[in-house]
Amino acid sequence: MNKLLQDKRPPVLDFLRYVGPGLIVAVGFIDPGNWAANLAAGSQFGYKLLWVISLSTIMLAFLQHNVAHLGIVTGECLSENTTRYLKPWASRTILGTAVLASVSTAVAEVLGGALALQMLFHLPLQIGAVLTGALVIWFLFSNSYAKIEKVIIGFVSLIGIALLAEIFIVPHIAWGEAAKGWVVPFMDKQSIPIIMSALGAVVMPHNLFLHSEVIQSRQWNLENESVIQRQLRFEFFDTIFSMFLGWVINSAIIILAAAVFFPHVVTEINQAPELLRPLLGPAGAILFSLGFLFAGVASSVTAGMAGGSIFAGIFAEPYDAEDPHSRLGVLITIVTAVLAIIVFSFITTPFNILIYSQVFLSVQLPITIFTQIYLTSSGKVMGKYKNVWYTKTLLLLIGAFVTVLNVILLKSLF
């Protein structure tokens, strides 16, 4: 009998053993781009835009839960299923653009690590990018998924601890205003660009591919119906738990910015530690920079994994750190990102590099979302686990909403 069926331990302990894949994905929800958007939201509008975090978390949890089902039911990731069930010209176009989207994501993530090293050790941005990229490649090539998962969980924990420590240091936080901000929407003409940036940056193509891949780190027997049901149930709680932690961390950044900076607008990440220093002392600035460093490195690792997974899927293979296709995908993602940062750092600001990196994501994201909906709604792919009509309708509405947000974001950038 399958080991999972023999496990008689309490369900809570079983669930704790299962936690991990969702946290890997949650790292993309607290990446440097989110930090920048949250700092701008809190410093310019106080607690009023916390509702954006609530809405984006709900949308993200629904999409990630759906794509994880694809991985559990089929035993293959989104990239492999795209290759298997779509015509070659369509699958190669979709997955080729998805690889480019992973590169674009990695630009922002590696840049975050480089900026953190600059804030902590005054290293030039180019050197910080090379060090961050080298660390990520070494880590992905020399560690198994199980070790990577543990380290990512550690990074998420350290980010949370650093931000909670910051909040405890801050003398005055208007918790009543924060509670209102979480549930009461606020929008005016000046806030629209920040709202669009925050919502549009939350759902990213690489995370949808990555979740369907890493969910398979929990082995199961696809021929055993009860095992599939068990995995689907545990995945749901893992996703909700992980997205909740992402909601807490993103909310903490906005609350910190609202309590310390408002109404002085923060437009560059590296302004934050300098503004924190006179208010909270050196410890506050260091804690912020360390949290940002952990976020940059952790999200760079997941971007590299996603790039490797998507590239391997083009050849109908799963992600495997020992496989040449997976390794080549990782190298394409991280090395290209580092080179792009080095080149563009000589001709524009880090803020503009972050903006440019989001442009291609905005273009590619609808392609990934609607590919996912097509596959998870197909009886040929999912069998009896295909999306029911109301799930499909809700997914299509979320996909349309995210697409409109990204179109508006693109128009605002140009």
- Dmax over Cα atoms in the chain, in whole Å? 62
Tokens of 320: 């495997």
Altogether, the residues listed in the chain come to a count of 414
pLDDT of residue 220: 53
CA dihedral for 240, 257, 186, 268, sign (positive or negative): negative
Residue 225: how many other CB atoms lie within 10 Å: 10
What are the φ and ψ backbone dihedral angles of 20, each rounded to 5 degrees?
160, -60
pLDDT of residue 181: 95
Residue 181: how many other CB atoms lie within 10 Å: 27
pLDDT of residue 95: 96
CATH of 11-413, one of 1.20.1740.10, 3.30.420.40, 3.40.250.10, 1.10.3720.10: 1.20.1740.10
Amino acid at 249: I
Check: CB of residue 135 under 8 Å from CB of residue 271.
no
Distance CA 76, CA 131 (A): 33
* Cβ-Cβ contacts under 8 Å for 187 (sequence gap 6 or more): 195
pLDDT of residue 218: 58
Task: Give the residue carrying structure tokens 């909040």.
Answer: 167
**Closest alpha carbon to 341 in 351, 327, 330, 326:** 351
Residue 267: how many other CB atoms lie within 10 Å: 11
pLDDT, one tens digit for every residue, the chain (414 residues):
344 444 455 555 555 566 667 777 777 777 887 888 888 889 899 999 999 999 989 998 999 999 999 998 898 999 999 999 999 999 999 999 999 999 999 998 999 999 999 989 989 999 999 999 999 999 999 887 778 878 888 888 888 888 888 888 887 889 999 999 999 999 887 887 788 777 766 778 888 999 988 887 655 545 566 666 777 777 788 888 888 988 998 899 899 889 888 877 776 777 677 666 666 667 777 888 888 888 889 899 999 999 999 999 999 999 998 999 999 999 999 999 999 999 998 888 887 787 677 777 777 888 999 999 999 999 999 999 999 999 999 999 998 988 887 777 677 666
Distance CA 45, CA 392 (A): 35
CA dihedral for 247, 249, 250, 251, sign (positive or negative): positive
pLDDT of residue 96: 95
Cα 230 to chain centroid, rounded: 26
